[in-house]
Chain A
Amino acid sequence: MTVPLDPDITPPGTGRFRDAGGLPADRWRAIRGEETLVPTHCCFCGVQCGMYLRVHDGKVFGVEPRDHDINRMRLCPKGLNAYQQVNHPDRLTAPLFRKSRADDLRPVSWEQALDVTAEQIQRIQAEHGRDAFGMLGGASLFTEKTYLVGKFARVALRTRHVDYNGRLCMVSAAGANKLSFGIDRAANPFADCLLTDCLLIAGSNVGECFPVMTQYLWGARDRGAKLIVVDPRETSIARTADIHVALRPGTDAAFFNAVLHVIVSEGLTDEAFLAEHTTGWDEVRAAAAEHPPERAAEICGVPEQQITQVARMFATAPKAMAWHARGIEHHTQGVENCLTVINLCVATGNLGKPGAGYGTITGQGNGQGGREHGQKSDMLPGGRSISDPVHRMQVANIWGVDVEDLPQAGTSMMEMVHQMSRGEIRGLFGLCNNPFVSLPNYAVVKAGYDALEFHAQCDFFLSETAANAHLVLPVTSWAEDDGVMANAEARVVRHRKAQEPLPGVRTDTWVLCELARRLGVGDKFDFAGSEQVFEELRIASRGTVNDYYGITYARLDETGGIAWPCPDLDHPGTPRLFEGGRTYHADGKVHLQAVRWHPPADPYDDTYPMTLTTGRTVAHFLSGNQTRRLGGLVEQTPRPWVEVHPSHGFSNGDAVTVVTRRGSATFPALVTEAIRPDTVFVPYHWPYPVAANELTIDALDPRSKIPEYKVCACRIEAATAVTAVPAPPMPPGRESYADAQRARVEQLPPTSSQGRGTSQP
């Protein structure tokens, strides 16, 4: 008989602790009194929760909740684990270079790295023209850096080809806001939710993508508000909502038009508001009339009476609000979908009042601020248009350049990829983005990037995209530099530097300024740090709609953040827009736009009869380059899955291949009644060969150029084995921190869309 020396049996889940892989941030410390709490905000989503970073001995080692009025101490799992990125063993600490993609990346000095970049820029632009070198920014950068990206492209590179990954995120809402209101931001602060009587959430899985915003939804319901959720999946907020409209993906415009139709036909519109504050109502009413509920019910696959129910609940509420996110924006009809929601709010007079209004929930931390100051292909700082001669002149004067030298509008991110394939763009400088995971139709993206003669990428972990580059520049994480971001309410908040950059790491600002010096325009980029850039940004935005002039670091330090427009130093900021019904169009009116529903770009047929929709899960963020390395989040959600309805006959964990016209990928099934039988869902945070974006279609909205991530035709097939999730990329010779990857290696399927229960065997 053998008696085990130590006990070895314990009931399921009682012997594991979710210890986050031993915490790579620094070691565990709980030393009395020997820490500094640095007040800052989270680096992840557009809610921008306040948090304290715990710092000891010059190193970030923990997080402490902060009673900031955005989040009132609440944090989501991403925010709680964010600090672990700062001193993570996977961090890049030396520039990496190779002459051709056949070689391995090798560490080089910063001098060599910057010299090579400048040489390549000059060579490519000399041989193929200035526009042959492109630049791609990101909306997780501080606003100062997004401003620098735009200025660098226009002044240092003088290329028209600059864009950013917000193109994949909230440009549809931006377009709709500009068209209707002449200003691009949410109309109401989150706190207005607490004053409303009816909340409509369209295409937003708030509980997973903006968990901390849920408190405003629940707070509204505690005070008696009704909740309507429009989502093909029964998400955690839809689960208990008063009405959950489980419509077929890609049919939002039909649904909202039909709701408007009911409102009009039942006489629930606010005619006085419409007459006084809007233009274009007749056209809108006519378009709505083309979408009677019986037609929409058929298109959307929802009961006709549900449309009436939603219309009555929304229109009869004394104060109603609508918030939407990517679910209605990621469509070839993205701008129009947003317009139908705006039309609904305006037609019922729900605009510009406490508890009544409209908002878009930006996905990226600086999704709002990142689109305001000129890294968008068609925009200059202060939300100015690059095509407007007056705007061009203003900016040329601020920058001290000849207006003739300012390039014209460029193309969008996805279009730039096609231009790379065609050889129109031969060199690229990318920072703060990971298109190999985030852009649709991976095969096309890979081919485009592979065609580049020179590709430099900045990041603090080696992303899938950076791993394919010629040059990788290691830059700071958010906690190693100062800056501001604007959250989904357009509230500008201050991020503070909590520790010095790791040895060998530089700020993006330093990199761009050094490159500009090598390109001969150092005098235009003479910035010591973020605050100097912000001072120039303030002036550059002065007098525009996106007016930051009254915002300074000192004022942000004194307040919990200031919502723009803030035209002077005494101005309190503008948390709520359109009070008194006045918009930012010259005539002060809402320019209503008529919308007619059209089917999604990818046609259904017998081979591809079902719908694939994609989205996020709570434990991961965007392309996952950050979150797939944090042990706690990997333990929560180690891998992607495909969510299917039980009617297809699969059981949990079965290997299921999703096939679209662009590719196929195999995932474990998560069988649940919380999804429509005609729809499957795959989260998009993982790279090839388990990428949702191998499957998605690269069709774009004609106006916003947003890709149609949220709907494409597919079929599902039984497979023999699920595809393993690859390890996060690391430079040659280094391994990703193993303890944080344990759960990924185990390849366990999820038990719910939010992750694995803590006691799952």
Chain B
Amino acid sequence: MMGRTIVIDPGRCIGCQACVSACRECDSHRGKSMIHLDYLDQGGSVASSPTVCMHCEDPVAPCAQVCPAEAILVTPDGVVHDADKSRCIGCGNCVNACPMGVPKIDLAAKLQFKCNLCYDRTSYGLAPMCATVCPTGSIFYGTLEELRTERPGVEVASTFDFDGSIISTGVAMVVPRGRPVDEPLPGGAGEHARVTGSPQPAGHLEPSADNVLGDPL
């Protein structure tokens, strides 16, 4: 992971979509929102998760590698940029090659758009818009030390397992304390592919006759 980076904790996410509105407000995005907010457990709970560009480090930026027009630049600070406007031919290779499902595309403009870590802000030391406004800290921006000052003892991981291929990323995710830090996070391919149900979170009571059903008053 990068030094100052985004750390995502879906457990804190309340699905409010402040990040979605904030993304639009960034000067380098100009009214286009690129962040994704997905409700993971429709029909079960209000669980949600934001997705920003994970800024893949190894293999470096698959989106940039598959680009036939050399349009995606990776700067030395590890930031994978959105497409160069003069080069992008709007083919969509990056959209479908990205294992995280991040890039978007404007077909009419033949132009890819993706999270650029609000480079207009981060290159001047400010946090990206989504992480700045996130009401819950589900999207955090800073160093690991800064994160631990706010949330004592928190652990993060930044490798993903896609059915055997390991991808390490510049953006990290929070993992529970005690989980081996080098154990990759599931990418959702292969054996996890059919997971659709919702687990019962801690403290949640099993529905029972006297919990949820009963005669009306």
Contacts and interface: CB of A to CB of B under 8 A. Distances in A.
**A and B touching (Cβ–Cβ under 8 A):** yes
Interface of A: 6-8, 10-11, 13-20, 22-23, 28, 30, 62-65, 73-77, 79-81, 207-208, 211-215, 218-219, 222-223, 234-237, 239-244, 246, 248, 250-251, 297-299, 301-304, 306, 599-600, 604, 609-611, 618-619, 632-633, 636, 645-646, 652, 671-674, 676-678, 713, 751-755, 757-759
Interface residues of B, number: 69
Q: Which 5 A-B pairs have the closest CB atoms?
A: A207-B14, A236-B14, A30-B27, A18-B33, A604-B216
B14 A754 contact: yes
Given A17-B113, A306-B205, A673-B44, 12 more contacts: A10-B92, A10-B105, A11-B96, A17-B104, A80-B25, A214-B136, A222-B151, A248-B217, A636-B20, A645-B212, A678-B214, A757-B39
Contact of A671 (B15, B43, B105, B212): B43
Contacts, number: 242
Q: Main SS of chain A's interface residues?
A: loop
Nearest to B150: A222
Contacts of A672: 42-46
B8 to A, nearest CB: 14
A561 B73 CA distance: 45
A301 B25 contact: no
B105 A236 contact: no
B126 to A, nearest CB: 9
Interface of B: 11-18, 20-22, 24-25, 27-28, 30-39, 42-48, 90, 92, 95-96, 103-108, 110, 113, 129, 132-137, 150-152, 198, 201-205, 207-208, 210-214, 216-217
Contacts of B136: 207, 211, 214-215, 218
B203 A243 contact: yes
A20 B12 contact: no
**Could you say which of B11, B13, B136, B201 has the most chain A C-beta atoms within 10 Å of its C-beta?**
B136
Given A28-B30, A75-B133, A751-B39, A677 B213 contact: yes
A207 B106 CA distance: 32
17 contacts: A6-B108, A6-B110, A14-B105, A15-B105, A28-B30, A63-B25, A75-B22, A218-B136, A236-B16, A239-B47, A240-B201, A242-B203, A244-B203, A302-B210, A752-B48, A758-B17, A758-B37
Contacts of A676: 212
Nearest to A30: B27
Contact of A299 (B92, B106, B217): B217
A758 B50 CA distance: 10
B134 A241 contact: no
A636 B106 CA distance: 20
A754 B20 contact: no
Contacts of B12: 218
B107 A610 contact: no
B17 A636 contact: yes
Contact of B45 (A22, A213, A239, A600): A239
Given A211-B16, A301-B211, A758-B20, A234 B113 contact: no
A674 B46 contact: yes
Given A208-B16, A239-B45, A240-B11, A609 B205 contact: no
Contact of B133 (A73, A234, A235): A73
Contacts of B38: 757-759
